[in-house]
Structure 1
Amino acid sequence: MKRRRYRLLSFIACALLLLLANAYTAHAQYPTTNTRPGLDTTVSYDSQGRPIHKRTNSGNDSLKHRDPLEDSITITYKFFDSTRIRKLDTSINDFSTRYPVSPKYVDLGNLGTAAQSLLFNPWLKPGFDAGFHAFDLYRYSIEDTKFYQTTRPFTELAYLLGSSSEQMGGITHTQNRSPNFNFAFNYRFALSPGKFRNQNTSFNNIRFNTAYVSPNKRYSSFFIFINNRVNAADNGGVQADSSLNALTGQLNSPFQVPTRLANNAGKGSPNPFNTSFATGTHLSETILMYRQQYDFGQKDSIVTDSSVIKLFYPRFRFQHTIKYSTLSYNYTDGDVIDSNYSKYFNMQAITGDTISYKDKWNDLTNELAIISYPEKNNLNQFLKLGAGYQALQGKFVYYNGDTTFGLTRNNIYLNGEYRNRTRNQKWDIFASGQFFASGAYTGDYAALISLRSQISKKLGYLSLGFQNVNRSVSFVYDSRSSFPSLSEGNFGKENITHIFANVDVTALQMKLNGDYYAITNLPYFSDFFNAKQYSSLFNVLHVSAEKKFPLSKFWNLYSEVHLQQKTGAAPVNLPTFFTADRLVFEGNFFKNLYLAMGVEVRYYSPYKMDNYSPFTGQFFNQGSYTTSNRPDINGFLHFRIKTFRGFIRLENLNTFNIANGSAGFGRYNFTSEHYAGRTLWLHTGIWWNFIN
């Protein structure tokens, strides 16, 4: 209870401090006077470096013009290591853009539990990988970090309340302290007790990042700090799926259903004030990244009637990036019931009442790169060559915590990149490569090339790409990991070839996508503990289509359809058909009211979905259990009034059932073998923007 109170008080305190900071800086920040030599001192500059003439009339001018930017904001952002400028998403009809688990994923029945993609989604990075990706949806990463540029301090507060005391909240704040310096702060938390025994979860994410450019525009730097914490209890699934049928139409709580782990009914309860548990997974991650750049190039200037604006065109850049990260992944059971382990998981007898598996990694990477810009007026065209040194240290705590083992790995890699987005925006070329030249991952590499071109204004854009990755298997498959992975021996390098094509038909509001994979040496788990490798070549084909169908002035249908198929006897099970559709009544009413209300439907065809092993943190292939789920159906009412957005959702209407002469919402869909999904679930949430 103290821990939850502390989180809520921290959330409120952060919100108040950020709002006070906005109020303090709003009047002093914009415009800022630029006193650099050579510039007109009668001119001030906004956060984008645009000149604003000072007024010379000291008296009260009743006819003075109102500043058009006084009550508005210009804000854009780029993802880290990207040149594409994006705008904030103000849409309201797609709730999945704000909820961590998208329709393309299924979790184990509760927010914060392990989640898996319904679409084929292999890991496409060479080199070191710890192998724990079941909780990636609840983690911030460097790749999804946004670097903003804004003319006003901007804050967004979010709070979501769900059934069974589920809560999720967050703060996003960014501002330009000067035209050359921006910082952004993100915080997100979630608490979810769940409906079943020992299903409570929580996760916390913090991110702070800055971007700085020197006044002469030669030096620039980027800093990112990320901290992720995920705590997910695990009950191993229900002991018998049929036990849920007796709950239909009754007041019985699913909490009373016997589970395969943590089945001591005298311990634990579905309590939102209690986030601790005896059995489950703890993930902790910290990332620090600092990148600095220095440019050589050509000076220039623009002379107007009353000012001189200095410009600088980089032609040659030195870049240094240093990153330090720690990752700790731990499964523990402090209340072992030996008979359950042997009965349901075929695990040998356990001595004592506690088991624990823990892998901890420290990763320090130093990288130097040289970047050349062939054309001074096109910074979206460049060639980059670099090299990096990686120092890895692993520490593994076995079984009861008494035995530890350490491991050190040093690696040297080379990388390169070429980008060219033509100034007419009709051609966009991207090519990149990485090769591990020495160390534990010698021979690992990744190569990617893609081409995007505008076919015509009517037909839109065509993208084509080729990717090949040769990678060592993730460390969780290694017998030296503390996790009980019983491997067949030394695994060869996994090789994945990915060919893709995308067509964006703007005039028809339609997107067509195709992916072809060719894989050899696929590592996989065949049960709760046994790791194997499928050495034969096999293929996976995936095609999809997305389209908006305007039905009337206010009615629209958003449809997304996927088809995927594997060849051969590879240990990969996928739904052949997947669709997610939204029928929406939407529009702008009463000047400031934007409304979107309707029904969402998600359906995937029956297939042998993977089971989950909490002992290794992996979804594993099985061939005996086949899903027979109903389509997931949600009703929703979303609205926006100026900067306030509200979401009211009644989810899983498909669980309605009549049994034993009474009606209720008790027809469960199963998201993995023995793991039941949610029944009727209410979500209400707000996302509120503040501009100072």
Structure 2
Amino acid sequence: MVQRLLIIILLLGSVSLRAQQIPLRQYGQQGTGGSNVTYDNQGRPIRKSKGSDSLQHRDRYADSITIYYRYYDSTRNRIIDSSINDFTIRFPLPYYYHTLGNYGTAAQSMLFNPYMKPGFDAGFHQYDIYAYTVENTRFYQTTRPYTELAYLLGSKAEQLVNLSHTQNRKSNFNFSFEYRFSNEPGVLKTQNASHNNIRFTAHYQTRNKKYEYFLIYISNKAASSENGGLRDVKKLDSLALNDPYELETRLGIAGAATRNPFNTSVVTGNIYKNTTLLFRHHFDLGKKDSLVTDSVTYKLFYPRLRVEHTLNYTTSSYEFLDQNADSTTYRKYFNIRLPKSGVVIDIKDQWKSLINEFSLLSFPDKNNQSQYLKAGIALQNLRGTFDTITTRSYYNVYATGEYRNRTRNQVWDIEANGQLYLNGFNAGDYAAFVSMKRSLGKKLGYFNIGFQNVNRSPSFLVTDTVSHFWVANRGHFNKENVIRLFAQYENPRSALRLGAEYFAVTNYLYFDSFMLARQEPALFNVLHLSLEKRIRLSRHWNWYTEVHLQQTTGQPPVNLPLILTRNRIAFEGNFYTNLFLSTGLELRYNTPYKADNYSPFIGQYFYQRTESISNRLDINAFLHFRIKSFKGFVRLENLNTLNLEKGFQFSKLNFVSGVYPNTGLWTRVGIWWNFVN
């Protein structure tokens, strides 16, 4: 059904759109190349004047597109990335994440990444990397409708469909729509996963530029079956058909599962849903002005004082389901006692959150809208429903403050913000963030340093509450405190980026078994150093290297590889005018470490001290290309699983943890195609 729908969309698009014939010109904040239109530091169009008469000479880019975007709550204009050398730019899962064996299952970063948001948190984050969020929402400005279609087909009928569209109905009103669907039948039994993501945005500003609003609607659904890992890992060495699907898993009905690429239902596993509706609007007081060119007059407005209101309504549900639980396997593998086999387990928590935030913003310099001071107060109302029967209501009152200044000469970029929870369920929580970025010149690049400190309440999952999720030791835990110091040096001219992060953590909350939560009161530190560099080997050969080094002090309950590195050696270039090519090998390696285990019942990776994994180097071959607006990606992944002892089988699997093997040879073929109306 999904394939047919995609084919219909492509056929309709090829009739009504003219992507191949229309040059796509993407402009950012710094100018427009050869165009006679540029933009000021607020993204407003300004026509260049060189004595030519625009009424007598046709603009040679009249049929092109000018498109740029800003992330929500940002003032920086950005352009669309058309590069092809890094597949993970378009694939939702970054290279430094691992899953339980296939895309769509619970994901965890191999880099230290503590949750650093104050206030209420339900506690479920294993599918966050697949979801649309408010923070990664883009607001576009475009002169012509722009559409991108993507379809990826992988081994075992893995599918990823992505559709995005944006257009300006008028110069002051833009809307965009995004849809992403993925379906993975899985390599093991009871491992199918499916994700549905929808996002709609709208941005409107009145002609006099005094009133403006931003609207975001997001819907995410994650449905992932859980198998608890293999019952006997040693049987991987004696597979009759070299198919791990032959093996029995710890959860799910033994022998009853079938692999169906069109089945997205979950019999044993987790189903998470969340919906967000955010509406931000403001009214400005300031000074009117205008810009007169040889043929056009642009109305300008410089705000000095802004009154802003943000409404954020969120609903979420977290459900673990096992429609035919086996009491023997639950007791044997997870130490959970059930009254009998065949019972239905259905654990569900639901939340509704309504936040009203009122803010005042002051702009000290009328010619620099990237400099402002903001102060606000917010009220959050929470309502939880547990097992569809019990309900509880909570509230939070918190204050916010922010200062930003990206100087007009583009030398300094300063950001400072904070939150303090004054009263309510999470009273005493706070967050502080300061970042200063300095331009060192075109030859030397940029240097950025910063500080972050978060003091947060324990997630609701582990508090002494009525949540129906199985946690053995709910009770009173102290607030977790994380301090992060960071520095980064970036030189685009040399394709070099150096980074350093230092974490100081107290009262660290973690799990160390399938149901047991713990807290580490002692202070511990984590140091993370990183390097990214492109090395030109010859005219067409490039070496991209990324290296991460992580070191902890003492014996904290944190499992991290000492070294994680990815290297890509690629043959690249522009051939035959319109062909851009990048092909080569991608290598990823991490040093042996005691990888976390996973609890399917509460959706948490948990700390373990006994089993260490030592994997082979991951080897992927890739062929990426772009022809005008068409991008193609062909990949052969996990070539390292080749087992010469058994002929030409790809059966030497790496492991995610002691009972979760990774996939063997995996192919992916994907297309990304953009259209301009």
Q: For 1:672, which of 648, 657, 660 is the aligned residue?
A: 657
Change in CA separation of 1:363 and 1:11 when aligned onto 2, cut-off 3 Å: farther
In structure 2, which of residues 212, 215, 218 is the aligned counterpart of residue 220 of structure 1? 212
Structure 1's 337 and 441: CA in aligned 2 closer, same or farther, altered over 3 A?
same
Per the alignment, residue 61 of structure 2 pairs with: 69
Query: Which aligned pairs between 1:297-308 and structure 2 lie closer than 5 A?
Result: 297-308=286-297
**1:487 match: secondary structure:** coil
Matches within 5 A, 1:467-506: 467-479=452-464, 480-487=466-473, 489-506=475-492
Pairing partner for 2:510 from 514, 517, 524: 524
| Cα deviation digits, residues 485-534 of structure 1 (max 9, x gap) | 11263000000000000011334221110000001111111100011111
Partner in structure 2 of residue 393 of structure 1: 383
How far apart, in 1, do the equivalents of 2:186 and 2:295 lie? Answer: 65
Mapping 1:584-663, distance limit 5 Å: 584-659=570-645, 661-663=646-648
Which of 544, 548, 561 lines up with 1:575 in the alignment?
561
Q: Given the alignment, which residue of 330, 340, 350 partners 1:341?
A: 330
Partners of 1:595 and 1:644 lie apart in 2 by 12
Distance 1:363 1:20, change over 3 A: farther
Amino acid at match of 2:386: F
Cα distance in 2 between the residues matched to 1:564 and 1:432: 28
Of 312, 322, 336, the residue aligned with 1:323 is 312
- Check 1:213–1:473 CA distance in 2 against 1; reply closer, same or farther (3 A cut): same
- C-alpha change, 1:582 and 1:472, in structure 2 (3 Å) is same
Residue 290 (structure 1) aligns with: 279
Q: Paired residue for 1:58?
A: none
Q: SS state of the match for residue 243, structure 1?
A: helix
Q: 1:130 and 1:314, CA in 2 relative to 1: closer, same or farther beyond 3 A? A: same
What amino acid does structure 1 have at the position aligned with 2:94? S
Q: Which amino acid in the other structure matches residue 132 of structure 1?
A: F
Spell out, residue by residue over 1:9-56, the C-alpha distance to the aligned partner (whole angstroms, 9 max, x if none): 665666678788879xxx9xxxxxxxxxxxxxxxxxxx9766899xxx
8 A contact 2:291–2:299 mirrored in 1: yes
- Is the Cα contact below 8 Å between 2:221 and 2:271 reproduced in 1? yes
Contact 1:577–1:605 at 8 Å: present in 2 too?
yes
Residue matched to 1:84: 76
Within 1, Cα distance between the matches of 2:420 and 2:11? 48
Cα drift, residue 456 of structure 1 = 3.4
Counterpart of 1:630 in 2: which secondary structure?
A: coil
Q: Which runs of 5+ in 2 are unaligned?
A: 23-42, 50-54
1:628 Cα shift?
Answer: 1.1
SS in 2 for 1:687: strand
SS, match of residue 236 in structure 2: helix
Q: Secondary structure at the match of 1:354?
A: strand
Distance 1:117 1:421, change over 3 A: same
Paired position in structure 2 for 1:537: 523
Q: How far, CA to CA, are the matches of 1:214 and 1:20 in structure 2?
A: 35
2:384, 2:12 → 1: CA distance?
A: 39
Q: What is the aligned partner in structure 2 of residue 420 from structure 1?
A: 405
CA-atom RMSD, angstroms?
A: 2.2
Instruction: Output the CA distance in 2 between the equivalents of 1:16 and 1:367.
Output: 45
2:184 matches 1:192: yes
Structure 1 residues 175 and 17 mapped into 2: Cα distance closer, same or farther (>3 Å)? farther
Q: Which residue of 2 aligns with 1:511?
A: 497
How far apart, in 1, do the equivalents of 2:349 and 2:244 lie? 33
Judge conservation of contact 2:47–2:293 (CA < 8 Å) in 1. Answer: no
- Match for 1:374 among 364, 368, 373? 364
Q: C-alpha distance in 2, partners of 1:498/1:240?
A: 41
Aligned residue-pair number: 650
2:231 counterpart residue number? 239
Bigger drift between 343-352 and 550-559 goes to: 343-352
Distance in 2, matches of 1:69 and 1:283, equals 47
User: What per-residue deviation string (whole Å, max 9, x for no partner) do you get for residues 98-124 of structure 1?
Assistant: 111111100011111000000000011
Select between 276-285 and 107-116 the one with higher mean Cα deviation: 276-285
1:565 is displaced (CA, Å) by: 0.9
Residue identity opposite 1:343 in structure 2: K
Q: Distance in 2 between matches of 1:654 and 1:124?
A: 36
Question: Are the equivalent residues in 2 in contact too, given 1:235–1:263 (CA < 8 A)?
Answer: no
In the alignment, which residue of structure 2 is the partner of 1:100?
92
Amino acid at match of 1:452: K
Q: Which residue of 2 aligns with 1:279?
A: 268
In the TM superposition, 1:97-246 aligns within 5 A as 97-246=89-238
CA, structure 1 residues 106+98, in 2 after alignment: closer, same or farther (shift >3 Å)? same
Shift in Å at residue 347 of structure 1? 1.0
One-letter amino acid matched to 1:368: F
In 2, Cα distance between equivalents of 1:324 and 1:540: 36
Per-residue deviation at 1:612?
0.6
Q: CA deviation at 1:625?
A: 1.0
* Counterpart contact for 1:18–1:173, Cα < 8 Å: no
Assess if the C-alpha contact under 8 Å between 2:622 and 2:636 holds in 1.
yes
Shift >4 Å, 4+ stretches: 7-23, 47-53, 63-66
Distance 1:583 1:96 in 2: 16
Supply the distance in 1 between the matched residues of 2:123 and 2:467 (Cα, whole angstroms): 11
Higher deviation after alignment, 449-458 or 622-631: 449-458
TM-score, scaled to structure 2: 0.93
Cα distance 1:70–1:662, how it changes in 2: closer, same or farther (>3 A)? same
**Higher alpha-carbon deviation: 291-300 or 456-465:** 456-465
The aligned residue for residue 259 of structure 2 is: 270
Residues 103/335 of structure 1: CA separation in 2 closer, same or farther (3 Å cut): same
Query: Which amino acid counterpart does residue 195 of structure 1 have in structure 2?
Result: V
Q: CA deviation at 1:238?
A: 0.5
Alignment-mate amino acid for residue 404 of structure 1: I
Q: In structure 2, the residue corresponding to 1:245 is in which secondary structure?
A: helix
Q: 2: distance between equivalents of 1:13 and 1:349?
A: 49
Distance in 1 separating the partners of 2:78 and 2:552: 36
Distance 2:485 2:163 in 1: 39
Contact 2:594-2:610 within 8 A present in 1 as well: yes
Deviates more, 1:482-491 or 1:289-298: 482-491
Distance in 2 between residues matched to 1:70 and 1:394, nearest whole Å: 54
Are the equivalent residues in 2 in contact too, given 1:140–1:205 (CA < 8 A)? yes
Matches of 2:124 and 2:221 in 1, distance apart?
14
Find the residue that maps to 1:164 and give its secondary structure. helix
Superposition TM-score, scaled by structure 1 size: 0.91
**Preserved contact between residue 22 and residue 153 of structure 1 (Cα < 8 Å):** no
**Residue pair 1:48, 1:179 contacting (<8 A) in 2 also:** no
Letter in 2 for 1:315: R
User: Quick check: 1:436 aligned with 2:401?
Assistant: no
Contact 1:48–1:151 (Cα < 8 Å) also in 2: no
**Which residue matches 1:691?**
676
Find the aligned partners of 1:184 and 1:507 in 2 and give their Cα distance: 33
